[in-house]
Amino acid sequence: MQSTDRSRVRSDALVVFGVTGDLVHKMVFPALYRMVKKGVLDVPVIGVASSPWTREELQRHASDSVQKCGAADDPAALARFLGLLEYVSGDYQDPETFRALGKALEKVSRPAFYLAIPPALFETVIRGLGEAGLSRQARVIVEKPFGRDLASARKLNDTAHSVFPEESIFRIDHYLGKEAIMNILYFRFANSFLEPVWNRNYVDSVQITLAENFGVKERGSFYESAGCLRDVVQNHLFQIVALLAMDPPAYQGYDAVHDEKAKVFRAMRPLNAKDLVRGQYAGYRSEHGVAQDSDVETFCALRLFIDSWRWKDVSWYLRSGKNLPVSASEVLVELKPPPQRLFDDSDPPPGEGRANYLRFRLSPNSAVALAARIKSPGKEFVGEQRELFLQNEQQGEEGPYERLLTGALSGNRSLFSREDAVEAAWSVVDPVLYDHNPARPYDIGSWGPKEADSLMGPDDRWHNPSPE
Ligand code: BG6
């Protein structure tokens, strides 16, 4: 699918704010190295951060990152990548930092500024770029979370628009660059068999689980300002909902996809406290950077409705949590049973889910499975539950950061979130960000607090993805 964006001019430098941080070390450097190796990155990469490092220290840090993630398989490409690095050190509040950056960009006319920094600093840096006159013909790439509620997202959008036009703003949600998630869009609209049943007449419920079998690790203080709802639901899970729920794009172009996704967010019914169960794993309050009386949720489960012609009254169940039994994410689209029961066993035994469903396995591996009942050999009309399983994986596939940064540098906005969609998504969660029930404790390695079951309709139950 092509972008209709006509301003597809390549950026001639990448400036990474927060270059000494964790995100850059874990995800961004390996992605940049792979881009150099493929020949899609050959422009200066200028790191900015407050640490008084030298260029050599940054190069050592970047080299360590690439080695640690096991990607350093091409010494010549690694040398080329390290050769592109430059470093500017300074405080983001200090105009001098932006003057020094301006000097480093003297030979550059179309830089891309990537803000891999704490969200509280986004506006400071955007303003600093504007005031230093560095935003002309430039792009800005903003990490998530984009705002922490509707009001702050609007304010951030206003600040960003006072410096950059919307077509130069690239809001990252790395889930949009994942192969398995891009496949939802492709699978839905490259096939014709799905569309007739993809609506309230045939779909009973949809559920999405994003489970992680680890805690907040060293990100306690970030997590305290976010919580599960802001960290992964309002963005990652909602993006998956939008791809599953959207109407067919009206034409071949990503603007059409963005339009349809924004309509889904607008049709979502704003959440109510009784639609949400929040949980906190045992021991969270002892994590580094976490308040001893913290009520921040490390788990959330919610029931969502999309008040559109297509989805009226269909329940969408979303769930995510840290320290659950497995690390895996899946979507389960459960279809209604046949209208008449012609075989005694045509429904699976109680508590075993539905006979017909479509399952999208999103991580750690990618697959699509269609479940059906099939007659067992013999003269009786009895059957069993089977899955038609389509594996969709390739070794060494392009990672989300590589895909997104390559897109942003060439002005391709397909995989980035648009202003109206981000704000509409915040409008859905806004009512429960502050007005909610206390977080319920749950044991590490469990599927979260048992109260999450109470969100389910009488015939529904949570589907727990398997580890493999
Ligand atoms: C990030 C969240 O956006 O997504 C993390 O901040 C979460 O808390 C992560 O662990 C999950 O991403 P992935 O790609 O590992 O599924």
CA of 228 to the centre of ligand 1 (A): 10
pLDDT (0 to 100) of residue 409: 97
- pLDDT bin (cut points 50, 70, 90) of residue 396 is low
Number of H-type helices and E-type strands within the chain:
13, 15
Residue 14 has pLDDT above 60, yes or no: yes
pLDDT tens digit string along 91-112?
999 999 999 999 999 999 999 9
pLDDT tens digit string along 294-310?
999 999 999 999 999 99
Tokens of 138: 């430039």
pLDDT (0 to 100) of residue 351: 67
- pLDDT bin (cut points 50, 70, 90) of residue 350 is low
> CA-CA distances (angstroms) from residue 54 to 47, 50, 60, 204?
11, 12, 10, 59
pLDDT (0 to 100) of residue 397: 72
CA of 309 to the centre of ligand 1 (A): 32
Among the ranges given (33-47, 197-211, 338-352, 407-421), the one the predictor scored with the smallest mean pLDDT: 338-352
Specify the amino acid at residue 28: V
To test the pocket of ligand 1, the residue of 28, 179, 212 to mutate (highest count of ligand atoms within 8 Å of its CB) is: 212
Calpha distance 210→435 (Å, rounded): 24
pLDDT tens digit string along 311-328?
999 999 999 999 999 999
Calpha distance 18→118 (Å, rounded): 8
Calpha distance 180→194 (Å, rounded): 17
Residue 357 has pLDDT above 80, yes or no: yes
pLDDT (0 to 100) of residue 353: 77
To test the pocket of ligand 1, the residue of 143, 217, 231 to mutate (highest count of ligand atoms within 8 Å of its CB) is: 231
pLDDT (0 to 100) of residue 468: 84
> What's the mean pLDDT in 330-339?
95
CA of 28 to the centre of ligand 1 (A): 14
Rounded to two decimals, the pTM is 0.95
Tokens of 303: 């029931």
> What's the mean pLDDT in 399-404?
95
For domain 176-455, say whether CATH 3.30.360.10 is its number.
yes
Q: Which fold has domain 13-143?
A: Rossmann fold (3.40.50)
Residues whose CB falls within 8 Å of the CB of residue 117, separated by 6 or more in sequence, listed in order: 17, 18, 21, 92, 125, 143
Share of the chain above pLDDT 90, in %: 90
Give me the count of residues in the chain: 468
Residue 154 has pLDDT above 50, yes or no: yes
pLDDT (0 to 100) of residue 115: 98
> What's the mean pLDDT in 187-200?
97
The 3-state secondary structure of 199-257, one letter per residue? CCCCEEEEEEEEECCCCCHHHHHHHHHHHHHHHHHHHHHHHHHHHHHCCCCCCCCHHHH
pLDDT (0 to 100) of residue 391: 82
pLDDT tens digit string along 43-94?
999 999 999 999 999 999 999 999 988 877 899 999 999 999 999 999 999 9
- What rounded mean pLDDT belongs to the chain? 94
pLDDT (0 to 100) of residue 216: 97
Residue ranges of domains in the chain: 13-143, 176-455
pLDDT (0 to 100) of residue 6: 45
Residue carrying structure tokens 């913290």: 294
pLDDT (0 to 100) of residue 345: 87
pLDDT (0 to 100) of residue 395: 58
Do 185 and 360 meet the contact criterion of CB atoms below 8 Å apart?
no
Do 72 and 28 meet the contact criterion of CB atoms below 8 Å apart?
no
Residue 242 has pLDDT above 50, yes or no: yes
> What's the mean pLDDT in 271-293?
98
Pocket of ligand 1 (CB under 6 A): 212, 231-232, 363
Active site residues: 236
DSSP state of 327: -
Residue 3 has pLDDT above 50, yes or no: no
pLDDT (0 to 100) of residue 4: 44
Atom of ligand 1 nearest to the CA of 219: 8
